Structure formats: structure tokens, C-alpha cells
Amino acid sequence: MNDPIIQLDDVTTIHEGSTHPTIQNISLKINRGEFVIVGGPNGAGKTTLLETIAGRLPIISGTVLVCGFDVVHHGPQIRKKLGYVIQNFDFDPYTPFTVEEVLLMGRYGLLGFCKRPGSDDFTAVEQSLTQMGIISLRKSHIGRLSGGQQQKVLIAHNLAKKPDVLLLDEPFSNLDLTTREHVCDVLCRIADAGVTIVMVSHAFDALPARGVRAVVMKSGKIVLNKVIPPEQVQDTVRHISNDTNA
């Protein structure tokens, strides 16, 4: 299978206000339907890689294509096809939105200008709440939930978008083991249905029963990029991450 849905060519990006590029001369091709695990030590540039794919950072050289669109010039088109579960979120306790409203916001980008959500949108919201096991929270205010519950809502928000590509940045950091396994199963099913998943994670509780692309980063560079059987992911990523010569 060779059908790139994400393609970075010799990309260097910089954070605003920073004097040094955060990731440098990165090239990476991810095919449609791949399950990608991004590993590496703290500060390696994993979050920056996802922000770059999502078009959130200034690109100082190279090109980034997602779903065939250049992220610099076609942000709105890409945002319709891309889900992004960010690493650090912080909801004020008084955030005036219910869980259901947060999920509906995931659908607004798909609607036309000034259009109101219809039955497809409410169905997608309901399906995502059910998938994540949080239907009972639908009327709760997001700011009043625990960190783990908020994390599940953010994942559900992105599932409701029905994205072609789903980026997840340490999505298990607030979740207990049982919930983590449940979320892993949901992600595997989505991947098996053809959604491309790029996940920064140190947890390897469940992976799809097929090849997984392991990408390991260090000091803003990719030091491993290889499709391997799921049972080898944990050892491979840990070994390369800890290898001081890599």
C-alpha cells in the first residue's frame, strides 16, 4: 500500500519567539490507514511534529501535505479532515459548555456557513459519546469533570468529526488502566475502519493486529521510522529512545 495521506518533505519548524528551529529537516511519509506510534524522550519534538502536521506552527522550510493539501495554504480544508487530541488542556471550572455541546462543536466545521446542526450531526455526537462510554455525561459541564473524563470528551469530540486523520498527543496520560484499554480498543477499531492514526504515546496496551509504523524522535530529528509487528513496538520504541548513540 502506498497512498500517502501525510507527507513531510525536508521540514523545519520553529516556535514563535524561539531562536532555534524545534524540528529540523524532517521527512516522513504516512500512508492512508496506517497506525503510527511516535515515541522518544521528553523534549524530542513529538508534540511539535503533531503541531506541524496540523499546520499550527510556522514552517521555515520544506512542505507539509495532509490529504493532498498544503498545510500553509489550505488550513480550512485540512481542519475538516483532521482530528487533533492535544496534550495539554485546561478547562476553567466555569466553562459554560456541556459535553454534548463540546462534541457538537466538532461538527460545526463540517457545516456550511450559518447552517444549524441536523440529524447527522446529532447522530455522530451520540455515536461518539457511546463509543467512549460517556453518554451519561452528555449534560454535564465540561469544566466540572475530572481530568480523565475531560480527556475522554476531547477524544469523543474528535471522533464526532469523523476525521480521515486522527492525531493524538499522549491521550492516555489522565486515564486509568481499564479506561486506557477501552480507548485503545476504540482506536484500533477506527484504524481498522481506515482512519489514519498518529499517536504520541508511551503506553502500548493495545495495538491493531497488523503492522504499526514506529517513529522515534530525538533532539528534533527522526531516528527510527519503520513498520513493525505490533508485538515489537514496545521494545523497539523503548530501546531506541534509551539508546544514547541513536
Ligand X SMILES: Nc1ncnc2c1ncn2[C@@H]1O[C@H](COP(=O)(O)OP(=O)(O)O)[C@@H](O)[C@H]1O
Residues of the shown chain interacting with ligand X in the complex, contacts defined by CB under 6 A: 15, 18, 22, 40, 42-48
Query: Considering the complex, what minimum distance in angstroms separates the CB of residue 24 from ligand X?
Result: 11
Query: CA-CA distances (angstroms) from residue 95 to 89, 142, 144, 171, 243?
Result: 13, 7, 8, 21, 44
Binding-residue total with Mg ion (CB under 5 A): 3
Query: Considering the complex, what minimum distance in angstroms separates the CB of residue 40 from ligand X?
Result: 6
Q: Report the alpha-carbon angle 61-63-69, nearest 5.
A: 150
Question: 243 phi and psi, to 5 degrees?
Answer: -80, 110
Residue 44 interacts with which of ligand X, Mg ion, none, CB < 5 to 8 Å by class: ligand X
Q: Which stretch binds Mg ion (CB under 5 A): 86-94, 98-106, 221-229, 233-241?
A: 86-94
Query: Considering the complex, what minimum distance in angstroms separates the CB of residue 88 from Mg ion?
Result: 8
Reduce the DSSP state of residue 55 to 3 states and report it.
coil
Beta strands in 145-189 (DSSP E): 165-169
47 binds Mg ion, rule: CB under 5 A: yes
Closest to Mg ion by CB, 46 or 81: 46
Closest to ligand X by CB, 146 or 242: 242
Closest to ligand X by CB, 52 or 158: 52
- Taking Cα atoms as reference points, which of 202, 166, 170 lies closest to residue 32? 166
Beta-carbon count within 10 A of 17 CB? 5
Query: Considering the complex, what minimum distance in angstroms separates the CB of residue 194 from ligand X?
Result: 27
Query: Considering the complex, what minimum distance in angstroms separates the CB of residue 243 from ligand X?
Result: 16
- Tell me how far apart the alpha carbons of residues 120 and 118 are, in angstroms, rounded to a whole number: 6
Beta bridge partners of 218: 221
List contacts with Mg ion (CB under 5 A): 46-47, 87
